[in-house]
Amino acid sequence: MSDITLSNLTYISREELAEQLKASSSTPSLPSNLAIIDVRDSDHIGGHIRGSTWVPSSELDYKTPELVRTLKDKEVVVFHCTLSQQRGPSAALRYMRERERLETGSKTVTKEGDVVKEGEEKEVSHGQEEKGKEKQQKVLVLRGGFTQWQDKYGPDRRLTEAWQKDIWEFGY
C-alpha cells in the first residue's frame, strides 16, 4: 500500500497557473514542461483551460497508467475538476500512487542507499548535483477548480477555450 496521502497534495492558485500560461511562447498550446488534466465528467461543458487534456474521472481507473507513461517528461502536472474538492485531488493521488508503483518496479537500491533505474550506473558527482539524476515531477491541484478559474479567466481567450458565459454567469 502507498504512503501517499492527502497531506502530500500541493495546490496551485489560478493566478500562478495563469502566469505560467501567459509566459509561454508556445501559445495556443501549453509550455512543453506542463500538463493540465481536466477530470470533469458531464460537467465539462462551458469551457476549459487552454491546452488542457480531458480525462473524465470515470475513465481514470484504466487511463492512469497511460497518463503516467505519457506525462513522464513533464516537470509539472496539474489536475482539476469543477471545484477541485474531490475528483481533482483524488485523480492527483491516484496518479502519484501509480507513478510510485511503476517507478518502484523498475528501480533498485544500491548498497550506498541510492535509487537507480535498472540498466543505469551511478555517477560520482564529487559534491555537484548528480548527472542523470531525475528531477521529481510536481503534481499539483488547481485550487478552486474550473469554477474559480473561469470566474477570473473565462473571457480571456489566451487562457480559456470554448468558454460559454451563459453556462457560468449564475455560478456553479
Q: Which long-range contacts (CB under 8 A, 24 or more apart) does 65-69 make?
A: 65/98, 65/102, 67/37, 67/95, 67/98, 68/95, 68/98, 68/99, 68/102, 69/102
Catalytic positions, written as ranges: 81
How do 115-117 and 10-12 pair as beta strands? unpaired
Q: Which residues pair with 35 in a beta bridge?
A: 77
How do 34-38 and 76-80 pair as beta strands? parallel
The rounded distance, in Å, linking the Cα atoms of 172 and 168 is 7
DSSP 3-state of 162: coil
DSSP state of 57: G
